[in-house]
Chains A and B, each alone.
Chain A
Amino acid sequence: MITKLVSKRVATFAALAALAPLSLAACGGGSSGSSGGDASATVDTLKVLDYYTDEPGKTQIGDMLTACGTSIGVGTIEREAVPGPTLIQKVLQQASSKSLPDVLMLDNPDIQQIADTGALAPLGDFGITADGYAPGPVAAATGADGKLYGLQPGANTIAIFYRKDVLEKAGVTPPTTWAELRTAAKKLTVGKQYGFAFNATADYEGAWQFLPAMWSNGGDETDLKTPQVAGALQLWKDLVDDGSASKSVVNWKQSDVNDQFIAGNAAMMLNGPWQEPALDKAKVDYGVVPFPVDQAGQASVAPLGGEAWTVPMTGDQAKMAKAAELVKCMNTDANQLLRAKQGGLVPTKLALADQFKTEVPKMAGFTDAVAQARARTGKLGAKWPDTAKIIYTGVQLVLTGQAAPADAMAKAGG
């Protein structure tokens, strides 16, 4: 009995292995639904792991996965969601016990580090490309070997949120240059209301929030000891020294910044579109503009956020092929638009930008920013975490008066 069963399994496996390249080629051709007909009969479950544990995202992602499972002919999607900060640890545990999921969602700055370990399958093997995608998501998902390891349906970034009524009353227009930001912030600092709030904590979040200033000023993560980076540090320092931003920014996470904004303790803040549900719930009348530039003529460059779907190397070729189909389904035009509208994201396919802007005008500012958004790991790949540590330490050294902007990064280990 048992031997019969095993030999049957081996036979199926061999057959599938032979079929795989054919069905994948068909996938690449674009007719994903019908292609692997023979293979799909045997794959009836796919395990998925992501970090959308909170509503409404949890249900939205779950529904989309289920719908995609049905459309590619996989009956059951066994989905597991773990809290964001524990996702990588979970993946590592699964990797060492050889129980990786068939489809894995990863935060974009983590893709290269995980791909570097050999845990992910290059999507090119399944005929998937990222043609027509914004450059940021592609750079984030491209490994050191030049292969694509993930497809990111939606992206976000950070920009300046401002309270429309407060600015109007003070006769202040949303800033477009650093000088305007400083003047506006100073003018808006009245009583217990600070003009501007941002996050400068001793973690990756603090580093991420510094990037718009650093990149817009021409600073580069491959060399932090440049006048451009020092200039950005100087801006952070000036805002705090002016009294326009609280000294507490070294201890405020992005959620704290949003709380301060909602409470009316900040007239402007640097934050992302994922805060919009909370802002809408609190009935805050806000507007969004890209992060200002130092001098007119510079381009505002914001860091890319959002998650990509990847296919781990589980060894089961048939399942991996189906998993790739699921990743592809999560990235169809319709699903990109749906996910963007549900989750406060921007579709990553550039061709969808105009349609999205007309349908969701309030995201127009973010839509333009995402098209230009730069991936944190684009240049450094798996070396990004070390650099992020230097950045947030440098920022904290400057804001607490332990170092001058010019030598903060060197003092932080850069």
Chain B
Amino acid sequence: MSDTKTLAPAPPRDAPAPRPPTARRSGSRRLEEITKILFVVPAGLAIVALFGYPVVKNVVMGFQDYGLKTFFTGKAPFVGLSNYVAVVSDDVFSKAVVNTALFTLGSILGQFVIGMLLALFFHQSFPLNGVLRALFLLPWLLPLIVGSAAWRAILEQDSGILNVTLQNLGVIDGPVPWLTSPSVALVSVILVNIWLGIPFNLTLLYSGLQAIPDELYEAGALDGATGWRAFWSITWPNLRAVVSVVLMLGVIYTLKVLDIILGLTQGGPANATQTIALQSYQRSFVEFKFGQGAALSNILIVISLAFAIIYLRVNRRQVDE
């Protein structure tokens, strides 16, 4: 505890407590308490309205037969678990679960490793550093739907620039079915998502690196810690808090990715790129089975929540240290 180190005589912790509370004093204190609460109320209301209500509504909707008719009649009868039974027993569900796991894991791994390497690269000073770094942020500025449309053209099997280039360079003999073969499509979708996610990882990790004081490296260098040794002994431990934020947010963002897959493959070919998020979107906004869509997104919420809890626990331990 840091305050034990302070040299000035610290006032006893519960100094005000023994003093007998006069009537006036307790009144003003109550007022103070009420004022404090009043300051928090707007924020609390906003959270309840903007986050609490939709989540609760979504949970409830998962148990309702909420379809097209509901919008006109206002009636959404409760149907117990039948929405969950319907979505889980669908053949596509197990595929979507596996794909969601692969998509999330692959995307995070790729984005993080490349983002980390780039952050380390840009942490050194060299000419044009700023310009290059700004260029790496471009994918972030691009609307997702534009990004996916461009990638769809690039990955086109017959005339896409990627296959044409690779063939001209003699890297491949025949065209790679990037988006048209069920065994390749998921990999392509993950690659595009990695491309999109690099700026996010780069930016956060780069700012994390900037926050590490140079003195640590200077002191480390005196003890002979340079290169990899410096990375593992100084950079990594100091970056841990940032890394956990990046990974945590990365998982939650990636779990809900929708637009990229919609733009590239619509979940095809033959359901090869279906994920839970995409299923939820399609049930809700293509098939208008909002109850089933809600059930699927509730499943996603639970998965995200599990990761959030892990994150909070890890973080708390770090703070306690």
A residues at B contact (CB < 8 Å): 88-89, 92-93, 95-96, 113-114, 116-119, 192, 201-203, 246-248, 250-251, 263, 265, 385-386, 389, 393, 396-397, 399-400, 402, 413
Contact = CB atoms under 8 A, between A and B. Distances in A.
B110 interface: no
B156 interface: yes
Nearest to A408: B270
B152 A251 contact: yes
B211 to A, nearest CB: 44
A250 B269 contact: yes
13 contacts: A96-B71, A202-B267, A202-B268, A247-B177, A248-B158, A250-B268, A251-B152, A251-B156, A251-B265, A393-B270, A396-B269, A400-B269, A413-B90
B287 to A, nearest CB: 6
Contacts of B265: 202, 251
Contacts of A89: 285
B169 to A, nearest CB: 19
Interface in B141-199: 152, 156-159, 177, 179-182
Nearest to A313: B72
Given A248-B156, A250-B269, A95 B182 contact: no
Contacts of B91: 413
A308 to B, nearest CB: 17
Contacts of B272: 400
Main secondary structure of the interface of B (DSSP, over half): loop
B180 A117 contact: no
A138 to B, nearest CB: 22
B134 interface: no
Nearest to B273: A202
Interface string B226-268: 0000000000000000000000000000000000000001111
A251 B180 contact: yes
Contact of A397 (B159, B181, B270): B270
Taking each of A119, A263, A396, which has the highest tally of chain B beta carbons within 10 Å of its own beta carbon?
A396
B69 interface: yes
The 3 tightest CB contacts between A and B, nearest first, are A202-B268, A250-B269, A95-B71
A246 B266 contact: no
B157 A116 contact: no
Contact of B182 (A201, A203, A385, A402): A402
Contacts of B286: 203, 385
Contacts of A117: 68-69, 71-73
Contacts of A92: 68, 71, 288
A202 B266 contact: yes
Contacts of A399: 269-270
A396 B68 CA distance: 28
Taking each of B182, B270, B271, which has the highest tally of chain A beta carbons within 10 Å of its own beta carbon?
B270
A251 B156 CA distance: 9
Nearest to B267: A202
A19 B74 CA distance: 31
A354 to B, nearest CB: 40
Contact of A265 (B71, B73, B158, B177): B158
A399 B182 CA distance: 10
A250 B71 contact: no
Interface string B87-101: 000110000000000
A251 B177 CA distance: 11
Nearest to B152: A251
Given A116-B69, A265-B158, A400 B152 contact: no
Contact of A119 (B72, B181, B288): B72
Contact of B268 (A96, A119, A251, A385): A251
B73 A251 contact: no
A113 B270 contact: no
